[in-house]
Structure 1
Amino acid sequence: MIGRVNIIIQSGDHLENKKRILPVALQLKSQGYNPIVLVYKSKEETFFLHHGIDSVSLENYRHKNRIKLFIQRNVVKKNPDILSYNGVSFNDVFSVELQRGRRLNDHAKKSIIYHIQILSFIIEDIDPITIFIWNGYTGFCANTLRNICQLKTIKSFYMERSLLKSGVFFDSEGVNGFSSLCNEVTKSELVQYNGSEQKHIKIKGKLNLTKNYFSSKWNKILFLPLQVQSDTNIILFSHNVKTMRELVLTILNSIPNDTLLVIRHHPEEVEQQLNLPLANNILYSNDESLNYWISVSDLVVTINSTVGFEALISGRPVLTFGKSIYSGKGLCKEVNELDQLKGVLADEETYRAPNIEIIKNYANILVGKHTCISGELNSELIYNFPVVKNESVIFYNSYKVNPTKVKIKAQDIYKKLGGF
């Protein structure tokens, strides 16, 4: 592969992720780069190969290097107290799983060594100039890639679903609470922002809906969209609340009987025993859209979900418990100590609509400085990305649009991102 600029993009096998990543890979290839998408099972390579994109799988490399893998994985038997391999710490790779209650046993160590070995083989063969890693803290593959990049000083970027629909969020420092967005945009900057940059994100404003759906006995309506309890966003960036049951009980014990708490289950929740409480002023419903519940509520309550950002764009007040890319900027009410919650919810200031100008300023900073582009997939999408090194970039899934019609200046992007 000498003479080719190789870029590894971790995709995994989920169709949704593959559809988000495909347009990025297509545009990179059209600009002369060689994107190589990393999947887990060999059959999943077909999705990308069909579109002319190189792809490698852990499964194929396992078969290719089965003798080396067999010999090297025996190190656990010979040294059961081993806590690192080839410079990669097991505790670092396994840190999130430890917080989920799993033990770093011999089976886990063997799995970590397997990923260290096989990903090292892949990186050695491909010799990428940069690697895009999904989340960085979800799964052995992402955690191992993150550690290898740090050890080998390979430029890395981290990916997650974007704040806006059908997008992929990229950041050089991490995603969610690790993102460079968390610390570099301050409240004072938002207040002083002159608004001269182009405005791509429109503030929706409150939808034209009424509360007639509900009984008139409710003085206030709080909307609580649950999050995936075992998600890294909860484990790493929610220090006060760790379970959805604790979250619901905390809110329930802090509101009067004439306040209705509307709770929406997360569609990707895997935990079967959330053990959520029942009460006369709790309504569990997934019947309506997120936009509906945001609109009819007096307050949107979340730990650190991106639904909170959607609510802010819709002009609704938001209360958060954890760290997110929209916290710490004066955009929403933040509860750092749970014993403060009752007083916060009793304060009418909590239900005041956010400063629409500050929301616009933040949206425009995201657009101008971090290239967050708003748009739907039902029309031709043309994007330009004025990206600065170490800042964030969002690519949008154009899978439903002819990829040749999506004008992404990939060459300029990657020259600025990596200087090559």
Structure 2
Amino acid sequence: MRILIYEAMPDITRADVITRIARDYENQGYTVFLLLDEDVQLLKRNDIVKPHIVNCLNVIRSGVPKTGVPFFATPLNRPLNKKFLEDPSIKTLEEISAYKSYFHEKILKKFRPDTIVIWNGLMDYQKSFISLVKSFNPTQQFLFLESGWFPQKNTYYSDPQGVNAASSISRATPPPLDPAQTSEIKKWKTLYRQSYGVPKSRDNGYYFVPLQLETDTNITLFSPFKGMKALLQWVIDNTDPVRPIVVRPHPLSDTNHEEFNRLNDRIHVDGNTPLQKLIAESHAVIGINSTVLLESLIFEKPTIALGQGIFQNSNAIYLQPLDSSIPKNLNNTAPQVVLQEAFLYYLKERQRPIPNSDLNSKRKTLPFDIEITRYSTIEQAISAIKIRARQCLNSLFSHTT
């Protein structure tokens, strides 16, 4: 079986995850090929809200050439990059997509994958690749990967249809648990809470609202609110006016969102208290579709979602209509806890640990002719020096400003 993993690699951390998963597939006997892009042109990403290019010298820095997994990296096109920075229009992005598709098409024709693996799959540049694949093979099988839930770090899940609200998981209703499964999930919940030093929940009367990155696909594709300010204003207007609202900035946000304290006297932005403590001591958790909503089920909290998510048909999380207010007093009943535990068990059974595969080995030999990117030892050394120099300059600049 042939597995092609497509990764544009704008994130150096994810590169390590991808290569470990690739090696794991190889260890299972599959023929694996990585299709990578040297750079990614983005109109915005995380807190960067202007057009920019993520230069993926990360291909070298991530150690991909040392893993032994065969790969091809779409070469840089400096004239197109310059044009994008000068004119970041849809037309320019289409030209870039056509340039990359030329190389992608050649790999697809040569490798003829049985399954294509993509991390997330909801990004615009990934959608272009998926459309290209389907134009060649309308019945092509895909497997979409995303970070797991308990915890997100070092775990992942896979789905044949997509991730988050686009996944097959979001369309499923978990089956009831038998007594052994119920006992298992209850013990797991207890151990999970204890691991964070908050074995018991208590109600300190506040609503807890975890913020999300406004450029994340969970917000751009599956949220009725395009900004966190609009979310908080809805919560202010549609919840018990005597209850405080504790707000936690997203850990990847470049700002502490202290400005939200001025929206209303009820709001308190807290980026210091541990997440699990904020969940455990809340009256209820309200969010759009954050993973925090899933974690709140472990603490048996009333949990309210305002957007679409992987929980869509679980019955474990209340899907709040925007045209009505949240009841003043929320209590988690025993039947609701049963539904929460069934969903937690369902998710827990589907996440997997990131493989701890050996990433240093001899390059695999493919049983057919296909173009492979090779970086010489000198190129790798020069790249490492350049990246290190850039890091030092950035650090120096940040200290001087």
Q: What's the TM-score once normalised by structure 1's chain length?
A: 0.67
Q: In the alignment, which residue of structure 2 is the partner of 1:180? A: 168
* Corresponding position of 2:303: 318
User: Equivalent of 2:59, from 45, 56, 65?
Assistant: 45
Q: Matches of 1:197 and 1:326 in 2, distance apart?
A: 20
The CA deviation at 1:397 is: 1.8
User: What residue number does 1:134 align with?
Assistant: 119
1:36-75 to 2 correspondence within 5 Å? Answer: 36-41=33-38, 43-46=57-60, 47-59=63-75
**Corresponding residue of 2:143:** 157
Match of 2:336 among 350, 355, 361: 355
Name which of 275, 293, 316 aligns with 1:290. Answer: 275
- Structure 1 match to 2:20: 23
Equivalent in 354, 359, 372 of residue 397 of structure 1: 354
Whether 1:365 and 2:346 are equivalent positions in the alignment is yes
Matched residue, 1:120: 105
Deviations 1:286-311 (A, max 9, x none): 11221111111111111011110011
Matches within 5 A, 1:333-344: 333-336=318-321, 338-341=322-325, 344=326
Where 2:75 maps in the other structure, the secondary structure is: helix
Equivalent positions of 1:58-97 (< 5 A) are 58-59=74-75
CA distance in 2, matches of 1:271, 1:134: 27
Pair 1:345 & 2:327 matched: yes
Q: Choose from 32, 35, 53 the match for 1:35.
A: 32
CA contact (8 A) 2:4 2:35 kept: no
- 3-state SS, counterpart of residue 356 of structure 1: helix
Alignment CA distance shift 1:172-1:270 (3 Å): farther
Partner of 2:50: none
In the alignment, which residue of structure 2 is the partner of 1:263? Answer: 247
CA RMSD of aligned residues (A): 3.5
Give the one of 6, 10, 33 matched to 2:7.
10
1:210 deviates by: 8.3
More contact order relative to length (CA 8 Å, sep ≥ 6): 2
SS of match in other structure, 1:345: coil
Give the deviation of 1:229 after TM superposition.
1.1
Q: CA distance change for structure 1 residues 353 and 57 in 2, over 3 Å: closer, same or farther?
A: farther
SS in 2 for 1:39: strand
**Matched length:** 325
Q: Given the alignment, which residue of 91, 97, 109 partners 1:106? A: 91
SS in 2 for 1:237: coil
Distance 1:34 1:8, change over 3 A: same
* Cα offset, 1:228, TM superposition: 1.1
1:228, 1:22 → 2: CA distance?
26
Matched letter for residue 327 of structure 2: L
- Counterpart-to-counterpart distance in 2, 1:159 and 1:15: 16
The one-letter code sitting in structure 2 at the alignment partner of 1:145 is: F
Residues 5 and 22 of structure 2 are in contact (CA less than 8 Å); yes or no, is this contact kept in structure 1? no
Shift in Å, 1:24: 1.8
Displacement of 1:354: 7.1
In 1, Cα distance between equivalents of 2:254 and 2:124 = 15
Q: Deviations over 1:338-374 (max 9, x none)?
A: 2312xx231x24565773332222233335xxx42xx
Aligned letter for 1:48? V
| 1:203 equivalenced with 2:189 (yes/no) | yes
Pick closer, same or farther for the CA change 1:143–1:281 going to 2, 3 Å.
Answer: same
Letter in 1 for 2:352: F
Structure 1 pair 230–273 and aligned structure 2 pair: CA distance change class (3 A): farther
Aligned to 1:416: none
| 1:258 Cα deviation from its structure 2 partner | 2.9
3-state DSSP class of the match of 1:327? Answer: coil
CA pair 297-15 structure 1, distance change in 2 beyond 3 A: same
> Could you tell me whether the CA contact under 8 Å between 1:182 and 1:325 is conserved in 2?
yes
Q: Distance in 2 between matches of 1:280 and 1:272?
A: 18
- The code of the aligned residue for 1:361 comes to A
Structure 1 56/271 Cα, relative in aligned 2: closer, same or farther at 3 Å? farther
Match of 2:214 among 229, 252, 256: 229
Moved more, 122-131 or 4-13: 4-13
- Partner Cα distance (1:135, 1:28) in 2: 18
Match of 1:167 in 2: 155
